[in-house]
């Protein structure tokens, strides 16, 4: 396997997802290796859950954007397997790994939250991401707890379909 090359771009796992596609539109750094299961659009074809990592060019790091956002608890548990594949590959290559996580690990807590706030997920998605973070915890892995990315959320998808109604009451407030 190749070694770390800081002039190279990262391996971006999950390039066909909403976040990966948005990132591809604005990427302005060393050319990354975009990974998808199918290899569509010239990306690296790698079915992360069913095959070992293929030979790669030198990469500066790994971004794990691949993940499951909806489904049963068993389906959501695949987030751990996907992140673990990226973390294991990063350890083998000697490169840092950034894993996309979620603010859902905090659950509904009052006030501003710090990264060391207690984890109290309120749903299976948050619980799955908590388990994922615990499984990949290592010095070379950083989990980024994303709250929302404009254009990658359900609101943006609804706007694209033309079917969004935002409720606003006379007092300027919305539904609670």
For 14-35, the pLDDT digits (tens) are 999 988 998 999 999 889 999 9
CA gap 125, 18 in Å, rounded: 17
Is residue 117, in this structure, part of any structural domain at all?
yes
Higher-confidence position of 97 and 166? 97
Is residue 110, in this structure, part of any structural domain at all?
yes
What is the value of pTM for the model shown?
A: 0.83
pLDDT of residue 4: 54
The per-residue pLDDT for range 132-167, each reduced to its tens digit, is: 999 999 999 999 999 877 666 666 666 667 766 767
pLDDT of residue 153: 62
Is residue 85, in this structure, part of any structural domain at all?
yes
- Give the model's confidence band at 13: pLDDT under 50 very low, under 70 low, under 90 confident, else very high: very high
Give yes or no for residue 12 having a pLDDT over 80.
yes
CATH number at residue 53: 3.40.50.720
Is residue 24, in this structure, part of any structural domain at all?
yes
pLDDT of residue 169: 78
pLDDT of residue 171: 81
Higher-confidence position of 14 and 1? 14
> Rounded mean pLDDT of 39-51?
91
Is residue 156, in this structure, part of any structural domain at all?
no
pLDDT of residue 172: 75
The per-residue pLDDT for range 64-95, each reduced to its tens digit, is: 999 999 999 999 999 999 999 999 999 999 99
Query: Distance between the two ends of the chain, CA-based, in angstroms?
Result: 53
Q: What is the helix (H) or strand (E) element at residue 34, kind and residue range?
A: strand 33-36
Contact predicate 144/150, CB 8 Å:
no
Give yes or no for residue 97 having a pLDDT over 70.
yes
Q: Which domain holds residue 127?
A: 11-149
Count of domains observed in the chain: 1
Q: Which residues contact 32 (CB under 8 A, 6 or more apart)?
A: 9, 10, 11, 12, 59, 63
Is residue 157, in this structure, part of any structural domain at all?
no
């Amino acid at each position: 396997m190749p070694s770390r090359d800081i002039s190279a771009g990262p391996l971006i796992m999950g390039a066909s997802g909403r976040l990966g596609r948005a990132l591809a539109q604005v990427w302005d750094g060393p050319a990354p290796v975009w990974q998808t299961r199918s290899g569509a659009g010239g990306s690296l074809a790698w079915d992360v859950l069913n095959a070992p990592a293929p030979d790669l060019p030198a990469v500066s790091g790994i971004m794990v954007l691949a993940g499951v956002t909806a489904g049963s608890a068993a389906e959501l548990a695949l987030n751990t397997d996907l992140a673990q594949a990226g973390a294991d590959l990063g350890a083998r290559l000697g490169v840092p790994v950034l894993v996309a996580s979620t603010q859902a690990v905090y659950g509904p807590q009052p006030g501003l939250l710090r990264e060391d706030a207690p984890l109290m997920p309120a749903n299976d998605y948050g619980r799955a991401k908590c388990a994922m973070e615990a499984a990949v915890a290592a010095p070379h892995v950083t989990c980024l707890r994303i709250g929302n990315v404009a254009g990658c959320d359900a609101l943006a998808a609804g706007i694209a379909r033309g079917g969004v109604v935002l409720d606003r009451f006379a007092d300027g407030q919305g539904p609670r």
